[in-house]
């Protein structure tokens, strides 16, 4: 399995992501030629070798009318752009349908964030900085490079947001900017003493769209490393690093981390524990279960265990503290081997039903979703087991159940 890991210790911007990915591809001249012939007027894209902190990297320079647009856009004299205009521009570009689709989805992530923070409808949103031609190049260019690299999975680290304030069309705003903060909901982030905006809305949206996991670097064999150098100077080396490598998938497909939260309970009713368990499950926990235990002074008790994604640890710990009588929650991180999963629809004599398919290179399993079986059993007034048997017998032989 080919893994692309993006290390965001100095945040993420569109140009830093694109520059780091650019260093990973073989034919760099072909990429520059392609992006300079997209059909964007008065735009010229070049790659510059940059050395900062004694380390060599790349900065992709986007010139509009022979100037870097982000350097002279602070006067805000440029016209704003709406989502419809962006869509028209991207649809006319000389790129694949996949790159067009991905680029538009990234812009929709930004548009949804702007609509939320400004309390407007998405069609009323006007882009300023992210509507510039250099931002379009950053997004489309990153999508082109992802298509070129074609990783099986993209993982990103937690994201450094920076600190202090940033200036934009709406005035001076705290870091992270409101739209960036909204985009990064549910994603692990942090801030340090560095003053400045380290993560931009464009960078946040690209990461949110492409990364399927935000975690520490997995165990992998690194083949290539790309250094995307930022334009700002800090005491710390300002770059985003992209690692391209492989994970051994001969036996198991993924090696991921999850959090296990636990607490002991001896003073709650069964109904209260049931309510807490259902609340955790409905809130998106991976699994919740209870175990009978013996506590101090031979008191019978219940061990409540909640499994969740690492980036949701605090959220579920708060829920446990809120809905149980415990005064503390134990937390541990576990490695989990799992199969890749997807839901497919299949046609049956009772209509379309959902089937969960789980597999890696050597293993494949499939199972009809419980809710579909239960719905049919109630509708036909037959038992659950008989419904499952009928569905299996009448299923298309090309699909395994």
Domains (ranges, CATH) in the chain?
2-246 (no CATH), 254-338 (3.30.70.1380), 342-394 (no CATH)
Q: What are phi and psi of 101, to 5 degrees?
A: -60, -45
Q: What are phi and psi of 131, to 5 degrees?
A: -95, -5
d(CA 35, CA 74): 25
Residue 377, exposed/middle/buried by CB under 10 A (0-12, 13-18, 19+)?
middle
pLDDT in tens, the chain (401 residues): 899 999 999 999 999 999 999 999 999 999 999 999 999 988 999 999 999 989 999 999 999 887 775 544 444 444 567 888 899 999 999 999 999 999 999 999 999 998 988 888 877 766 655 447 888 999 999 999 999 999 999 999 999 999 988 777 667 889 899 999 999 998 999 998 788 999 999 999 999 999 999 999 988 899 999 999 999 988 899 999 999 999 865 544 455 789 999 999 999 999 999 999 999 999 999 999 999 999 988 889 999 999 999 889 999 999 999 999 999 999 998 888 777 778 888 888 888 888 888 877 678 888 888 888 999 999 889 999 998 888 887 764 444 44
């Amino acid at each position: 399995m080919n893994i692309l890991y993006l290390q965001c210790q100095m945040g993420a911007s569109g140009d830093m992501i694109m520059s780091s990915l650019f260093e990973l591809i073989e034919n760099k001249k072909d990429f520059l030629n392609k992006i300079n012939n997209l059909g964007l007027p008065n735009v010229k894209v070049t790659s510059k070798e940059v050395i900062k902190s004694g380390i060599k990297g790349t900065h992709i320079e986007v010139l509009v009318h022979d100037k870097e647009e982000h350097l002279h856009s602070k006067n805000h004299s440029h016209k704003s752009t709406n989502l419809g205009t962006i869509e028209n521009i991207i649809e006319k570009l000389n790129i694949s349908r996949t790159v067009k689709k991905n680029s538009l989805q990234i812009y929709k992530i930004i548009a949804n964030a702007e609509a939320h923070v400004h309390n407007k409808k998405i069609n009323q949103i006007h882009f300023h900085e992210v509507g510039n031609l250099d931002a379009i190049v950053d997004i489309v260019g990153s999508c082109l490079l992802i298509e070129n690299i074609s990783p099986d999975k993209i993982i990103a680290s937690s994201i450094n947001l920076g600190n202090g304030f940033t200036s934009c069309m709406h005035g001076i705003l705290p870091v992270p900017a409101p739209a960036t903060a909204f985009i990064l909901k549910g994603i692990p982030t942090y801030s340090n003493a560095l003053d400045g905006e380290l993560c931009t809305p464009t960078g946040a949206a690209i990461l949110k769209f492409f990364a399927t996991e935000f975690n520490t670097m997995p165990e992998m064999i690194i083949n290539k490393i790309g250094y995307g150098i930022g334009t700002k100077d800090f005491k710390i080396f300002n770059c985003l690093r992209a690692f391209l490598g492989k994970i051994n998938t001969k036996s198991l497909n993924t090696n991921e981390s999850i959090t296990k939260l636990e607490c002991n309970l001896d003073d709650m009713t069964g109904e209260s524990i049931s309510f807490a368990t259902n609340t955790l499950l409905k809130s998106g926990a991976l699994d919740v279960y209870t175990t009978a235990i013996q506590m101090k002074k031979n008191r019978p008790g219940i061990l409540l265990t909640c499994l969740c994604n690492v980036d949701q640890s605090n959220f579920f710990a708060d829920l446990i503290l809120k809905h149980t009588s415990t005064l503390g929650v134990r937390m541990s991180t576990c490695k989990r081997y799992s199969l890749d999963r997807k839901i497919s629809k299949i046609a049956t004599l009772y209509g379309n039903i959902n089937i969960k398919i789980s597999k890696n290179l050597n293993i494949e399993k499939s199972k009809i979703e419980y809710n579909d079986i239960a719905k049919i059993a109630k509708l036909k007034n037959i038992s659950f087991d008989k419904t499952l048997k009928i569905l299996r017998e009448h299923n298309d032989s090309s699909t395994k159940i």
